[in-house]
Amino acid sequence: MAQGVTARLENPPGLSGATWPTINTGVTVARHARYYYSQIRPGTYRTGLISPKHLDQRPFWTALSDRGKRVVIVDVPKTYPETGLNGIQVVDWGNHDGDILEGFLTYPPALAARIDTEFGPDPFGRRAFGVRGPSDLSAFVDGLCVNVERKKRLIESLMREQDWDLLFAVWDDAHWAGHFGWRLHDPDHPHYDAALAAAIGDPLERVLNAADRCLGELLDQVGPDVHVVLMSSHGMGPGYRTCEMLDPILRRLEGRPTTARGAAYSSLRRVWDSLPGGVHRPLITLKDLVRENLLATDRANRPWFALPSNNDGGSVRLNVAGREPQGRIQRGADYERTCQWLIDELKSVVDLDTGEKIVGEVYRPQALFSGDRVDELPDLAVEWLPGAPARRIGSERIGELEVTVSPYRSGEHLPDGLVISVLPGAKQGVGGVSLRAQDFAPTIAYGLGVELPGVDGVPVKAVLGEA
């Protein structure tokens, strides 16, 4: 920061799951239509898994490759190996938020076996913890630190062996340390465990120090003639709100009791919650299939309903005539009135113990973005406000609802990220710059002398040291 350009990365508002696909492709969510790993299937009331190999927008490094640039791509999230690449690509090797069911893949394919042999297996495996978090937090943090070092050794090897114009490598270890370790980082968190924190240390501090040390060792090796860009896709903070809060609110707003999903769904949820956390991940696909069959009928009979989303917010889909099979809301004035009414009611919900609002902005993605797949997006995207843990929330219309603060996923995404760009010979720091997620790809390409075709972003030349 002292010798480079520091910029705020402006992510798609309310849809944090769209950030990496937008960074990678340079187009907005209305064109790549990826905002979560499980999304509504157009023309139905069911959601299903969305794989990166189904995206019809290609990542920006393919255009660089086509122009003769040599690329080395390592563990960039939400991607799939690109065939015919002028270079190499490693996908979901050291990532623990793996996005492809096939697991670790490479281009060229034969590279995978060599990497596994030379650098060894993942210290605890992608499936070593369920959605409740790791069963052994101490071993989990140890494994993250080992994984940071392991990734560094892979990148060192690839840097030495390959000629490259662009090397784009990602660690996701700090991401997971934030999600599952925040309660030991933040003494104000309701599930802070002083004894455990004293025994294993601050998970964020340990993992970020490991990453900082490894990054420094890599920078010492690339030499003074390399343009270095450090990017953090999100911030991280306490996770007191969850997407599970949203549907009970929506049910109250339509005059339904929060238990209206039916006995079959409630029984399934009780069985699922009773299972040990470690068995959740291998069973999650089966659980989601059963769950969706139960929820599809429920959604068809409602005017609006919540969609799966990250816990930093929530997504709402209206049951629109002509778009949904049994649509109830008419396009036009009826749709506009309903959206505004829901926005007003959602923003009136407060923490009943403090009087503080819990909802910040409620965005309308289909109005913010334009593209041929805009109808696949949620109609509303809710952002929770940071604040003290809420035990009881409510409003005049919905009454009172109880809220549980999870002891597992205790940290959550903050809306925007950070970019630090240091050009060879730079001596003075510059701040106050912003770039949107869709600007990242064309900015990097511009630095390599390539103009990306058909993207929504533009090169932010200030990031490259130009006025």
pTM, full prediction: 0.91
196 band by pLDDT with thresholds 50, 70 and 90: very high
Output the average pLDDT for the chain: 89
241 band by pLDDT with thresholds 50, 70 and 90: confident
Picking from 244-248, 259-263, 304-308, 357-361, which range would have the lowest pLDDT averaged per residue? 259-263
Domain ranges of the chain: 5-238+413-464, 243-411
The answer to whether 57 and 39 are in contact (CB under 8 A) is no
Q: From CA 436, how far away is CA 22, in angstroms rounded?
A: 9
Tell which residue, 399, 405, 378, has the closest CA to residue 249. 399
Q: What is the pLDDT of residues 11-52, one digit of tens each?
A: 999 999 999 999 999 999 999 999 998 899 999 999 888 888
Choice between 207 and 95, residue whose per-residue pLDDT is larger: 207
Angle between helices 263-274 and 280-300 (to 10 degrees): 170
CA torsion through residues 155, 159, 164, 166, sign: positive
The answer to whether 43 and 72 are in contact (CB under 8 A) is no
Q: Can you tell me whether residue 420 is helix, strand or coil?
A: strand
What dotted CATH number matches 5-238+413-464? Answer: 3.40.720.10
Overall average pLDDT of the 184-199 stretch: 93
Q: What is the pLDDT of residues 344-388, one digit of tens each?
A: 999 999 999 999 999 999 999 999 999 999 999 999 999 998 877
Overall average pLDDT of the 173-180 stretch: 92
Overall average pLDDT of the 273-291 stretch: 64
Phi and psi angles of residue 88, each rounded to the nearest 5 degrees, phi first? -135, 160
